[in-house]
A and B are shown apart, each in its own frame.
Chain A
Amino acid sequence: MEKKESLKAYKKRLDTALENKFLRKSLDNFAVAYKISREKAFSGMDVEGLVKEVADIKAAAIKNNEALLEEFTQKAKANGVHVHLADTAEDANRIIEKIAGKTGSKKVVKSKSMTAEEVHLNKWLENSGVEVTETDLGEWIVQLRHEGPSHMVMPAIHLSRFQVADLFSEITGTKQSAEIEKLVKVARQQLREKYFQADMGITGANYALAQTGTLGIVTNEGNARLVSTLPKVHVALLGIDKLLPSMKQALSINRILPKNATGQDITSYVTWITGPSQCKIAKNETREMHIVFLDNGRKKIAADKDFAQVLQCVRCGACANVCPVYRMVGGHRMGYIYIGAIGLITTYFFHGREHAANLVRNCSNCGACKEVCAGGIDLPSLIKQIHTRILDEEGHPLKNLLLGQVLKNRKLFHTLLRGAQLAQKPLVHKKKDSDTLYLRHLPMIFSKEHNFRVLPAIAKIPFRDRFKNLNPTIKKPAHKIALFSGCVQDFVYPEQLEAAMKIFAKANVSVSFPLEQSCCGLPALMMGEKKAARDVALQNLAAFENEDVDYIVTLCASCGSHLKNNLPTLVRKFAPKKAALFAEKIIPFSQFLNKIVGMEPMEGRGQKIAFHSPCHLCRGLKVKKDPRQLINKSGNFYVKTPEEETCCGFGGSFSMDFPAVSNAILTRKLEDVEKSGANLLVTECPGCVMQLRGGALKQDKNIRVIHLSELF
């Protein structure tokens, strides 16, 4: 087992990446361009329907994997293909080494295969004296630099043309210009020779069709065709998860794969190979063909009811393309072999927890990956589950255990918060923008790098103590609601709830506030404390059980999304019915005000207002239009900013664990707002307020950040 990288060493690597200006600019451009081209590629199509179809096809194929493997093997053997099954990475390497030995293959050309990366095939073959040349341009570049790919589809996205020019100058012994077109020609010439010299070609495959024993390979460069045509031996290495019943399913997946990967309708080449093809230099003019199916933990994943969906991945790489963390730090720090959200998960299964432990913490849980996943995988939730598993296996750190204990006991938790309010007194001061008090110095538990935003102090009087005086009796209410405050609004920003109370009173809405409600439980889940999250979920269910209300309104998108989406799963073995009833009543503030109350447009100040859409609102609760419409109804103008649905970098404990990454994401966001000309930024989650307002104050930006409730 390799030595585990310490969290400190991992963070140091992150810092280096954050300082790499080329990487930052390149990934930034890519993140923006990708979204546009993906949208264009899918325009007029029912994306959700397509994803559902792919998810269903893959799920069924995984369930039926054993039978498909048997059918494929039979068919392929009848066609004269040698079919091998490798249980582990090492087995796969040995099998391929043996084929090379038997066929006397000394030189190998390869087209891109993540599966070969997974088993570290190149290193193995090179150690046994075989020369291996990657032929995918990006893979060839990273191979020459002795690196791994930094993206599943664009392996060399972390490198500039100048770095490539230097590299090519070195290998050709001639000074090469940094013109991309010329560099591509250099590769064409250099690699052409390699194809002709090679004894063996190794490819991966995107699809294995059981009905006909056919492999489907998707490429843009066309290198897989040369690799599988010129050498007299062809070895294909692929995971057993690539098996499908027939052409039809592959064509369905192929409608979405390239669109999701690069925004292309289809790649330049899709190659279908059934059995050994004609090869004029081989015996009987027929190529020797081997197919190596790799298990390496896949069967175990398939049998795990929570994680079987991991195998629905079609390796499009989209989860990296939209990940705010990937965008800041790049692939080499956002995966071990497989990159992006799916990489965080598969690293644990394929390469062990020593490689996954730090990675799974580096997720803000923004849900952007889940929204674009071609295979319909609930990536953020699986990342959290892996985090929990690793803690269960390695032992939970003391701070987690304490948090779990405290959260479970609401009285203790709230007493501690009140105590902290008194203790922080000498440390607090006022800032220009609101009544909120801020911490002058960060408490000792924080390090210097946490100082990228100003943190608010705990309010003198929490909302729960103010509620009684704020709540007028409403005789004939239009709607009856209960309020779920969440800890941050209750104890840090009670004014956001106070503002909402005024709006409710005007709209003739009667409000109750069950005092036994506690933390929603999301922070516990984010830290991998699933059990504590379940305990508070049950307490909250009990707190709201006897409320005779139509809705449970929350002004915190994170609480709302957690209560609606995660809570029923957490308590599914304890109170499934209660949880379903509770979850159904949860509604975010903006949706309640806009759709249920039907707020009318009013006179306002005519200000330009930018909006930050909290991840848990736009993706978690799928509420997109309501807050924007309310901004316009408030008598102001909503101005669109380029990436208002991209995470602000808060992510609860994420911003505590990875402050430098969080700060980079935050700064990017504030720059967008600044460019829009708006100096008021509205959002609908106290966590986002904390991050964005704290950052704007720290960076002295002329941007005021408020919660939507404070706009009226």
Chain B
Amino acid sequence: MDSTVDENTQEFIEKATLVSARVYRVKDMASALDKALDLCKSKQISHAGIKTDPVSTKTALVMAAPNLDEDSFTSFFKDCRKNGNILLIRDNLRKYPDGIDMGLTLVDFGIAETGTLVLNSDSEETRLATMLCETNVAILRVTKIRKTALLMADELNELIKNNSSYTAFITGASRTGDIERVLALGVHGPLELIILLVEA
């Protein structure tokens, strides 16, 4: 592997871990989705209010994956139902005010210096997927990790220059220290952040 990519990846993992994100390395996109499914399966139903799968009419976990491409979504939807009793959604996230169990998004960039994810969330669904979920899972390609935010100012400018663009830097889970300066996670958004680093 390119040595810069390797260095950036190492630093990214170190920094992201420091802000209590969990990082897993996976070899390709397919393995990333498998891992996401496993992670979701291991969750307890109930955190985010009980949901029912309209087809199987069974109680299901809900995972939102609004920015997967059409084909990936279709096949992952089937996998989720078959292997995990998980209802995969991508639309109308507003209908889930109590929250969703997992939000899965493909993110655009990583910033090694701070362990930050950069996500184009122009679509409302993408935004809500990362905000309303209990667990936020992000898929990031290692080749998209940049050393510092300043060094990628041009790439960021490309993201923000268009009208109606909404770009998020996400570093760790939603946190607060507002009561006695004691760190508490998940005050509004996700309680935890998991990053799947795709090698290829």
Chain A interface residues (CB < 8 Å from chain B)? 26, 29-30, 33, 78-80, 135-138, 141, 154-157, 159-161, 164, 180-181, 183-185, 187-188, 191-193, 196, 209, 211-212, 214, 220-223, 225-226, 228-230, 246-248, 251-252, 254-255, 262, 265-281, 286
Contact = CB atoms under 8 A, between A and B. Distances in A.
Interface in B164-193: 164-182, 184, 186-189
A155 B180 contact: no
Contacts of A164: 179
Contacts of B162: 274
B180 A161 contact: yes
A698 to B, nearest CB: 33
B164 A268 contact: no
A137 B180 contact: no
Contact of B186 (A33, A188, A230): A188
Contacts of B163: 78-80, 274-276
The 9 closest A-B pairs by CB, nearest first: A138-B178, A222-B189, A270-B169, A222-B174, A137-B178, A275-B163, A184-B184, A266-B114, A272-B167
B150 to A, nearest CB: 5
A221 B181 CA distance: 13
Please indicate which of the listed interface residues B124, B176, B184 has the most CB atoms of chain A within 10 Å of its own CB.
B176
Nearest to A155: B178
A280 B179 contact: no
B98 A192 contact: yes
A694 to B, nearest CB: 34
Interface stretch (B1-9, B57-65, B153-161): B153-161
Nearest to B166: A277
Contacts of B182: 161, 180
Given A156-B178, A277-B166, A280-B92, 7 more contacts: A188-B187, A192-B99, A196-B97, A214-B165, A270-B169, A278-B122, A280-B124
B160 A160 contact: no
B31 interface: no
B156 to A, nearest CB: 6
B150 A255 contact: yes
B141 interface: no
Interface in B78-106: 92, 94, 97-99
Nearest to B167: A272
Nearest to B182: A180
Contacts of B164: 79, 274-278, 286
A225 B99 CA distance: 15
Contacts of B147: none
Interface residues of B, number: 52
A229 B173 contact: no
Please indicate which of the listed interface residues B98, B99, B156, B184 has the most CB atoms of chain A within 10 Å of its own CB.
B184
B188 A266 contact: no
Contacts of A191: 188
B198 interface: no
27 contacts: A29-B181, A79-B163, A79-B164, A135-B188, A137-B187, A141-B178, A141-B179, A184-B176, A187-B187, A192-B188, A212-B157, A220-B176, A221-B176, A222-B131, A222-B187, A225-B127, A225-B189, A226-B131, A229-B124, A251-B156, A269-B168, A272-B156, A274-B166, A275-B164, A279-B124, A280-B124, A281-B94
A180 B181 CA distance: 10
A29 B115 CA distance: 28
Please indicate which of the listed interface residues A79, A226, A272 has the most CB atoms of chain B within 10 Å of its own CB.
A272
A191 B170 CA distance: 21
Given A187-B187, A220-B176, A266 B171 contact: yes
A154 B178 contact: yes
Interface string B110-139: 000111100000111001100100000000
A159 B177 CA distance: 12
A402 B53 CA distance: 85
Nearest to A267: B171
A205 to B, nearest CB: 14
A79 B160 CA distance: 12
A514 to B, nearest CB: 53
A212 B160 contact: yes
Nearest to B157: A247
Contacts of A193: 97
B169 A266 contact: yes
A222 B170 CA distance: 9
B23 interface: no
Contact of A266 (B116, B157, B159, B176): B116
Contacts of A269: 168-171, 174, 189
A209 B175 CA distance: 26
Contacts of B92: 280
B68 interface: no
